Amino acid sequence: MDPVSNDIDHHQMDISIETKAVADLNARVGDLQMEGGDMLLDDYDPVDDKPDVAIITPEDSAEEKEPETLANDYDLMKPKVLTQLQDLETESETVHTWELEDWRNQPRKARGPIFECGGHPWRVLLFPFGNNVDFASLYLEQGYEEGNQKPPEGWYACVQFTLVLWNKHDPSIYTLHTANHRFNAEESDWGFTRFAEIRKLFAPQWEDKGRPMVENDAVNISAYVRIYKDPTGVLWHNFVNYNSKKETGMVGLKNQGATCYLNSLLQSLYFTNAFRKAVYQIPTENESERKQSASAWALQRLFYQLQANDEAVSTQELTLSFGWETKHIFEQQDVQELSRILMERMEERMKGTGAENALAKMFVGRMKTYISCINVDYESSRVEDFWDIQLNVSGNKCLDDSFKDYVQVETMDGENKYFAEGYGLQDAKKGVIFESFPQVLHLQLKRFEYDINRDAMMKVNDRYEFPEIFDASPYLSDTADKSEPYIYKLHGVLVHSGDFNAGHYYAFLKPTADGYFYKFDDDRVTRATMKEALEENFGGDYANLHGNMGVRNPYTRTLSTKRSMSAYMLVYIRQSREQGILHDVSEEDTPHHLAKQLKEERAAIERRRKEREEQHLYLTLGVITEDNFKAYQGFDLTTWDTEAEGESVPKTYRVLRSSTLGDFAKTLAESMNLPAEQVRLWIMVNRQNKTIRPDQPLTDVDMSIEDAYNKYGGRDKSFRLWVEKASEIEDGKPVWPEAPQSIGSNNAPLLVFLKYFDAAAQSLKGVGHIYVKKHFKVAEMVPMITQLMDWTHGTSSVPNGLTNGVTSPPALALYEEIKHSMIEPMKPKATLAMAEIQDGDIVCFQKVLSEKESSTISQTGGYTDAREFYDYLLNRKTVTFSPRYGQEDEGEAFKLDLSRKMSYEQFSAKVGEHLKVEPTHLRFSTVSATTGKAKGTIKRSANQNLSQILYPQFGTYGNNNQRDDILYYEVLEISLSELDTKKNLKVTWVTEGVSKEETFEILVPRLGTVRDLLPGLQKKANIDNETLGNVRIYEAHGSKVYKELSADHSTGTLSEFTTLYAEMIPEEERNAEEGDTAIYCYHFDKESNKPHGVPFKFLVRPGELFKDTKVRLSKRIGLKGKQFDKIKFAVVQRSMYSKPIYLADDDVLADIASSPDDLLGIDHVNRSRGLGGKGDSIFIR
């Protein structure tokens, strides 16, 4: 586009301009005066103040001047103003000219005549006085909206157009602008708000042409229009309201932050239909199976949602099942490593199912590494499985070049001869050859390499071609089975755009054998052309830069002449097995329980959505019944905690605001299998003492729920009701206790709730309610209680609690529950009025115990007085006790209800009773809220109670990040008193190379030996006897090995702060050959005096090139792929300020590290720095 026209706008069709504004614009043009055929501006200075310029005559010109193109020569103008766009096919094109007369009298928006192109109507839209600017505004507009006509549903057109404004008397005078746009019903016009400045259009001459552009108030406007075919359906699409499912039948995956690499891999595996079917066969129907196979269950759910959902699917559930935290979500990881770990986890879960070995049959090939002697008949070879192949990009132009490089034969001669057993040193050939390729071939292209000049990992953006059809047979051994062709067809291209430090991942995949490629870019799926899937991801230089500095990388914001997007992983499917791999996944292949559960979840989501929409029509009510009260043990009538569970929890109801109290009472009665008239509702109020009690019955059954809420609802916007059930029926009608008129309000019956404290059972629960008159004495409640509890026999029933009960010697002790911290004994001779009892109050009673009964209960740690039990409830704390090291023989986690006032001895006795062990053999630790690991061991103290341990203010345990609901326990083999004779040592058990570590605390005799560590380590790390025999223990200072400790080394020299590591001696060390030596290794970050991580010992072989040593190091460290490629290695002397000597692949470690003080330094980023924990490579739990 002409740089002058840099503001292509979709003009605002609905801008309202007042009449005066239009008049002002007309007046400005009216100031233009016609003189001698020229249009002049008032006060226009005709003097040309431009500097003199040299006039070059045709004789002075070296070349003949190209003839000027005229605006009315449409055939010649069209190729100049409407350049054919590369790789796009023209559907239709046309040229139309609007001969505009009387410019000054045009309306604010003038439209030209309709013309046709591609079967669609078009016209030119002109704002002669500007669209809110001092420029004439010119647009191309679809003409469907002429009159009442509407564009066809879903209509669009991809249009390249040029608008040319030219002088009808002199066609050499013209100006033009060009644009591309996707026209549709929403974006019906497109063009140029600042097409040409109005002042210049009416100037006496246009760009020294001798006459104006708009002459005699007339001008011509030509529209050159070309409509292109849209092969993908998204050409020039702005993706507003784009629906992937509607357009492609597929949905994408949401990006959680930096999970685009995960999304591209998951889509690739999903569209490998045989893999999806195999995953569906993992058993997950039972809850126990889902817990055991959490990642498989989450992957099944994700795959089914990709099948069934209409919108993009979240991967959050899957990453949670992996055990990833937020920091992992925002770290881009190595796709090859992630793919391999995911395959391993799925393969583990497929064992014993119909899908066992399905992945190996699908993805595993075999390769042979060999050394073959040239002059004698001897070959040493090893055949191994592979799941993917890593191919070099650097130095290779195409896929075939990389395979040739991979199987290249190396000759071992001269000083590098091979020692063949029985033949001595021999000339030999060394290399790799393939024995078979899998049905699905994953090729990892090494786009990231370490640049020694920049001392950093860099992306290789060189051009690297790969074909749609690939023949792998040239890279097979002569003995390989070639009865079936090894012809592969491209199925997927996973792309990285950006550089090593910043970028984005997406994938081009071909879901069906004979279908199209589609681009899967996170939540958006679009159809792609073959060129977009292949050639545009070869990398290399951009074509047709035309002298520009380059193309701006959207992720690094830098200009580059090389493409930043390039393939980093290719997926090929063996052509002869394509139908089996891509066979449709039917409903029968999908687990029925999976489809059922997700259908129910979608229905629940839809129900909640509908509830939100209708929320203003409903009111939420909390309802408590007598059954809730009887099942509750605690303060007040019940708990209103929304997270509580059980029979004591009140139910909540969504009720139409317009319905009546009578309607709601009927609903409740039906749920209780009662007639509606036998149910009465009481409003519950929030008292000042922070209790919630019934206050008065709601007698107006015709009152609406809305009115009742406005009248009785609490300040906290709550609306709670108590449901009373009639206990007496007369003549088919319920009898509710009402105060007789003769009694008067001074002696009206009061609603009193009763709780029974059972000292023998150590329980406090509601038993029901009674009605008692105000002037009755407290003692007169006793017979009513005994009858309610059925502790008397032969007495007539008490109708609704109304009685003139006979006072008898109290067998019960009564207390009023005023609030949670105030339980007061009631005086038997006082009246209820004197005791200030009112409707809804709670009276607690208990049997009076004999001294013997009290003594028996006290001896078992129970409470004999209701007030003591209330105090226990007030200080009750549910504490989880979990085995510290999670060993099965230590038992499972359990919960106990304890009092915060309990001493160490008291709560340890409770735990010992539960575990059936001596409390003297129990040791407890607090728990970190951040890591979930033990913080510190709790020491016995007579002055410290459970509350001080769980909620420390300061001191020994500190309250930073400490959980207040859990303690770890250990069952010791010795008592705590005997423990004082022992020493606690921390030993870190290192596995999986040195990539995984667990720290254990082990008790040893203060004057024991290292040998005493081993039994404790074996138990806590779950080490078998064979492994234990090959365990070594070494001491480290400053992340470097200080010395190895023999079994007889005294523990007296070790303290609890000594860093000790234990590991199984690697097999290669146990089988070391003569001449092999060892070197201690440590990690550092750029500077050798900044060590970190776990140091270790490593076997050094004489004469071994370091590129081969690195293969062993990768296994020893437990890292591979991109993570390992980032590491640099150097020989460093033990002294603090020694300079590291970095190693190249052709170096020999044994020759360079010759001094006993030499260490092998491993230079890589310290990921644990500032992260509060070890920064491991990617993992799936």
Kindly list the distances between the CA atom of residue 125 and the CA atoms of 118, 148, 171, 185, in Å, as whole numbers in the listed order: 19, 18, 21, 16
DSSP string, 661-720: HHHHHHHHHHHTTS-GGGEEEEEEEE-TTS-EEEEEE---TTSBHHHHHHHH--TTS--E
1045 in Cβ contact with 1033 (< 8 Å)? yes
**Three-state secondary structure call for residue 888:** helix
Bridge partners, 476 (sequence order): 434
Q: Is the dihedral of CA 1128, 1133, 1138, 1141 positive or negative?
A: negative
Bridge partners, 969 (sequence order): 883, 924
Burial class (CB in 10 A: 0-12, 13-18, 19+), 570: buried
Amino acid identity, position 513? A
Bridge partners, 302 (sequence order): none
Q: Is the dihedral of CA 508, 511, 514, 519 positive or negative?
A: negative
Structure tokens at 891: 């038992």
Which of 95, 100, 90, 92 is closest to 77 using CA atoms? 95
Helices (H) and strands (E) in the chain, counts: 31, 57
- Please tell me which residue in 504, 921, 1092, 1164 is annotated as part of the active site: 504
Amino acid identity, position 825? P
| Chain centre distance of CA 557 | 27
| Chain centre distance of CA 996 | 24
Is 504 a residue of the active site? yes
Q: How many CA atoms lie within 13 A of 168 on its CB side?
A: 14
Bridge partners, 1092 (sequence order): 1083
Structure tokens at 536: 């545009």
- Please tell me which residue in 11, 117, 181, 260 is annotated as part of the active site: 260
Structure tokens at 119: 């079967």
Whole-angstrom distance, CA of residue 315 vs CA of residue 254: 7
Burial class (CB in 10 A: 0-12, 13-18, 19+), 1071: exposed
CB contact burial 920-950 (16+ within 10 A = b; e otherwise): bbbbbbbbeeeeeebbebbeeeeebbbbebb
The CA-CA-CA angle for residues 506, 509, 512, to 5°, reads 160
Whole-angstrom distance, CA of residue 732 vs CA of residue 721: 25
Whole-angstrom distance, CA of residue 1022 vs CA of residue 1016: 10
CB neighbours of 93 closer than 8 A, spacing ≥ 6?
78, 82, 117, 224, 225, 226, 227
Whole-angstrom distance, CA of residue 1084 vs CA of residue 1086: 6
Is 117 a residue of the active site? no
Amino acid identity, position 907? F
- Return the CA Rg of the chain: 43
Whole-angstrom distance, CA of residue 1114 vs CA of residue 564: 30
DSSP H or E run through 576: none
Contacts 24+ apart (CB under 8 A), 957-962: 957/926, 961/928, 961/929, 961/930, 962/926, 962/927, 962/928, 962/929, 962/935
369 in Cβ contact with 381 (< 8 Å)? yes
* Catalytic residue IDs: 260, 504
